[in-house]
Amino acid sequence: MVPSMEEPLVASNTEKTQGPGHSLVVIEVKKQLYLAGPLIAGGLLQNVVQMISVMFVGHLGELALSSASIATSFAGVTGFSLLAGMSSSLDTLCGQAFGAKQYHLLGIYKQRAIFVLTLVSVVVAVIWAYTGQILLFFGLDPEIAMGAGTYIRWLTPALFVYGPLQCQIRFLRTQNIVLPVMLSSGVMALSHVLVCWLLVYKLGLGNSGAALANTISYLVNFLVLALYVRFSQSCKNTWTGLSTEAFHDILSFLRLAVPSALMVCLEWWSFDLMVLLTGFLPNPKLEASVLSISLNTVVLVFRIPSGLGAAISTRVANELGAGRPHAARLATRVIMALGVVSGVSLGLLVILVRNLWGYAYSNEEEVVKYVARIMPILAVTFLFDDLQCVLSGILRGCGFQKIGAIINLSAYYLVGIPAALCFAFLYHFGGMGMWLGIVCGLVVQVLLLLFITLSTNWEKEALKAKNRVFGSSPPTDSTT
């Protein structure tokens, strides 16, 4: 029987303990922070993998750092962003199914996503095999291009672990299971330091060893989560074993996964494109190194609003799936306030550490001073990036990925990138000009996302969520 729209489908522990002294806003803040806290910590720990790899390579020399930076950016543009984007469709599918208590669908959605992402990884791996030649074709410095080609070949196995890992994380967090995600990320981060040290220094593999270490660390994280899903009682209803149902209705999944990928990729590409374009600036090794450090800093700090965005996508998807549009609306108001507080705090922190941060990545005084000059611009970036992240999380919870993709295309490629090119090459601001252009794109993105969020008809979206969940095929067969 299909539940009515007003029937609560998910009982929250917080709701059960609600007393006269608790306002709905306070309760919602507690729910979001409960989700966001471990997700922020887990995201930071996951990002440590890339950051540690870059740090190890940075101390091998400027050429090694710039080559690894270009390779990492190319990998992000052509591979990791695509996989992360496609897997984000599970924020909508699994989140709404869980809210509607259609628990069996979560396992089917996860298997379907892993299957599709594995096929996509094969195509990406073929492209990565020609990275050096592709970069040379676009006129990049030959030494940097060849070094990047070598680095990315050693990074290729990570593709086939990264996609399933992202699916596993979303499968869990849409069920409000966040502590295991954080703990498994901690295990991965700790092991990565040791693995990098062994491969880079003890075995003498240099930057190739740093690339290979990523695969090992992602695999550790995935296996820990897989064991939790297999044996935990928390997932006994959502994971009932392998099912042939996962191979059905692939086109329906792609109709949401492709816009999800575009929504993520169009934003991700704009940031990574800056690092690639630094190869055409005067003193490309310095510019690439500094822009890489800046981008790694943004990615590191981004995990905080990313955790908030993940929390709100879960809250909105769960509440819409449960048929509670008013709760979904309240959740969006709360997260926007939290986003502003977070963005301002992060900006102030970045300004305070601007003169020291460069030493974490390089011993070159020229690099450290350049990083200090660019950090105030990053502080402004963090404020608007924080807001866009939580607003994008709202769109994913609703299933608005197509709208999000159009907004990101307009903001970054009609405004942000053209402005960055003008500041960097026409007005000769170099790498700082690149960031100024991105800030322009971020402002436009935030304004458009805010308009969509404030004009959303939540009752209508709850009905759409109900139709999406109960329009899915029932399970046919499964094996443990």
CA–CA separation, 473 and 389 (whole Å): 32
How would residue 105 be classed by pLDDT, with cut points 50, 70 and 90?
very high
Residue 17 confidence (pLDDT) above 50? no
- Please say whether the beta carbons of 197 and 234 come within 8 A: no
How would residue 392 be classed by pLDDT, with cut points 50, 70 and 90?
very high
How would residue 22 be classed by pLDDT, with cut points 50, 70 and 90?
low
pLDDT, residue 59, reads 64
DSSP summary character for residue 473: P
Please give the backbone phi and psi of residue 242, each rounded to the nearest 5 degrees, phi first.
Answer: -65, 145
| Of the candidates 214, 198, 76, 81, the residue with the CA atom closest to the CA atom of residue 158 | 214
How would residue 6 be classed by pLDDT, with cut points 50, 70 and 90?
very low
- Please say whether the beta carbons of 322 and 9 come within 8 A: yes
Residue 478 confidence (pLDDT) above 50? no
How would residue 83 be classed by pLDDT, with cut points 50, 70 and 90?
very high
pLDDT, residue 472, reads 59
How would residue 314 be classed by pLDDT, with cut points 50, 70 and 90?
very high
- Sketch the domain layout of the chain as residue ranges: 24-470
Higher pLDDT, 19 or 368: 368
Residues 171-226 pLDDT 10s: 999 999 999 999 998 888 888 888 988 888 888 787 788 888 889 999 999 999 99
pLDDT, residue 475, reads 42
pLDDT, residue 130, reads 92
- Farthest-apart Cα atoms in the chain, separation: 69
Higher pLDDT, 297 or 441: 441
| Of the candidates 167, 186, 162, the residue with the CA atom closest to the CA atom of residue 38 | 186
- Please, what is the Cα angle at 159 between 300 and 228, to 5 degrees? 75
Exposed, middle or buried, 204 (CB in 10 Å: 0-12/13-18/19+)? exposed
Contacts of 422 (CB under 8 A, 6+ apart): 433, 437
